[in-house]
A and B are shown apart, each in its own frame.
Chain A
Amino acid sequence: MADLLDGMLRAFWLVVTLDSDLVEITLRSLRVTLTALAVASAIALPFAALLAVRRFRMRRITIAVLNALMGLPPVVVGLIVYVFLSRSGPLGVMGLLFTPTAMIIAQVIIIVPLVASIAHQSLRELWSDYHDLLISMNASQGQRIKALLWDGRRALLTAALAGFGRAIGEVGAIMVVGGNIDHATRVLTTAIALETGKGDFAMALGLGFVLIAMAITVNLAIHWLGHTESEGRW
C-alpha cells in the first residue's frame, strides 16, 4: 500500500518537474506506437473493407485466421522479428535490430490483425446496408471500398483506438527487438519492467501512472478531434 502511495507521489513529481528522462521515454513511446498505428491502419483498414466487399474463395478462412491472430503472443512476434533482423537473418544487412524502427515493425505485426478484425466487423454491417444501393449504382470495387471507409470512419476510429491500446501497453515484443537501451530504445513499458526488476517499485508505479494517463489523454484527444458521440454523427 505504501508502495502505491509512494508511486503516485513519484509520478506526480516526475510530471511536475518534467523529468528529462521521463519526457524522453514518453515521447519515444508515443512516437513508436503512433507510427506503428499509422502504418497498421494504412494496411488493416483497406484490407478490412476489401474483405467486406469482395467474395473470394478463401474469404472465410482469411477472416477466421485474422480473428485468431488477434491473440498473437507479442513475445513470439518479437522473437520472429528478431530472427529476421538479426545480423545473420535475411534482413540483417539493414541493421535495424535494437532500433525504434524494429520496435515499430513488431508492433505493426501485432496490431494489424486486431485493427483489421474489429474494422471488418463494423464494415461488414455497413456493407450489408449499402450492398444493394452501391451495386445498383454500378460502383466499382474501389469506389465501394472508399464509400465504406469514409462512411464508416467513426467505427474505424474505435478499431484504431483498440490497436493503440494494445500497442502502447505492449512490452514483450519491443523488449526483445528493441533491447531497452537507455536513450535509444527505452520506452515506458520496458522502463517499468526494468524498474520492477531492480526492485524500485515506486519508480515503476510512477511510470505506470504516467503511461495510463497518457493512454487516456490520447484516447480523449482522438475522440475530441473526431467529434464522436456528438449528436447526429458517426
Chain B
Amino acid sequence: MKTALFPLVAKQAMVRRRGKVLVGPIDLTLEGRGTTVVIGPNGAGKTTLLKMLHGIVRMNGGALEWACSREEAQRRQAFVFQTPIMMRRSVVDNIAYPLQLIGVARAEARARAALWAEQINLGDALDRQATLLSGGERQKLALARALIREPDLLFLDEPCASLDGRATREIEEILLRAAASGTRLIMSTHNMGQAQRLADEILFVLQGCIHEFSLAREFFEGPKTTQAHAFLRGDIVE
C-alpha cells in the first residue's frame, strides 16, 4: 500500500529573483485527484509556479507540505518542460534513462522504453538520435520519459506549445490515458480549448498570485472575477 502523496499544501510560498517577486505569496491546497490546468497571461508566473511546486526552483519564503516526506514526494513526480530537453543519446536511451537512474538494469530499462516508444509512435525510431527529432516527436519523447517511472504526479509546462493539431491530439491522448490510470496532472497551457478538454480544476494565475481557483465547469461557465472573465474573452489582462 502506497502512502498518500496528497494533499499538497503551499503556505505563503514565494519565489523572488533579483528583488522581484515572481510568484507568491501563495496559499494553495491541491487534492489528489484529477487534472489541474494553470492558465494566465505570459509572464504571470505559471512556469515558476509549476517549477516551485515540483521543487526545482528554490523558494524564498513559505513552505510546501506533502502528505509524505519530501524525498519520497520528489521521487514520485516528474516534469515535462516547455522546450523538451533532449539528451544526446538515442530515442530509446533517452526514455530509459529515468529507469536507469533508479537502478533498473540497462537491458530491462531499454526493453520497457521500447514499449513506451511503441505507444508514442516512435517504435521505428528507437536508435535515432533524439536531438534529430521533430518538435512533436521531442515532446512525445519527453512525455514518455516522464511517465516511464509511473509517477503519481506529473507537471507539464505548456506541453503543446507550438505543436499542430495532430501532435496536440496525440499528446492529449497520452495525457488522458495517464490521468485515467491515476496520475495526477498539473499543467499550464495557453490553449483554452485544451484547458476545457482536459481540466477538472482551473488555476488562474495573474501577476504571480492565484487569482481564481475553481472547478473547470464553473470557471468556464462563469468566472468569479472580472479579470478571468476578460481573459476568457480574449482580452489582454495585465
Contacts and interface: CB of A to CB of B under 8 A. Distances in A.
A151 B88 contact: yes
B87 A132 contact: no
A133 B88 contact: no
Contacts of B214: none
Contact of A135 (B56, B88, B98, B129): B56
Given A143-B101, A232-B129, A232-B132, A136 B89 contact: no
B188 to A, nearest CB: 15
Contacts of A152: 88
Nearest to A136: B79
B81 A138 contact: no
A129 B84 CA distance: 10
B89 A151 contact: yes
Interface in B98-139: 98, 101, 128-129, 132
Contacts, number: 38
A160 to B, nearest CB: 18
Interface in A147-174: 147, 151-152
Interface in B14-57: 51, 54, 56
B171 interface: no
Given A132-B56, A143-B101, A138 B85 contact: no
Interface in B174-195: none
Nearest to B142: A133
Nearest to B100: A143
Contact of A130 (B79, B85, B128): B85
Contacts of B75: 138
A233 interface: yes
Contact of B129 (A129, A136, A233): A233
Given A130-B87, A133-B85, A138 B129 contact: no
Interface core residue of B78, B88, B129 (most chain A CB under 10 Å): B88
Interface string B59-87: 00000000000000011001101000101
Given A130-B85, A132-B79, A136-B79, 17 more contacts: A130-B87, A132-B56, A133-B81, A133-B87, A136-B54, A136-B78, A136-B81, A137-B78, A138-B75, A139-B101, A147-B87, A147-B97, A151-B88, A232-B128, A232-B129, A233-B129, A234-B88
11 contacts: A129-B85, A132-B51, A132-B79, A132-B85, A133-B85, A137-B98, A138-B101, A147-B87, A232-B128, A232-B129, A232-B132
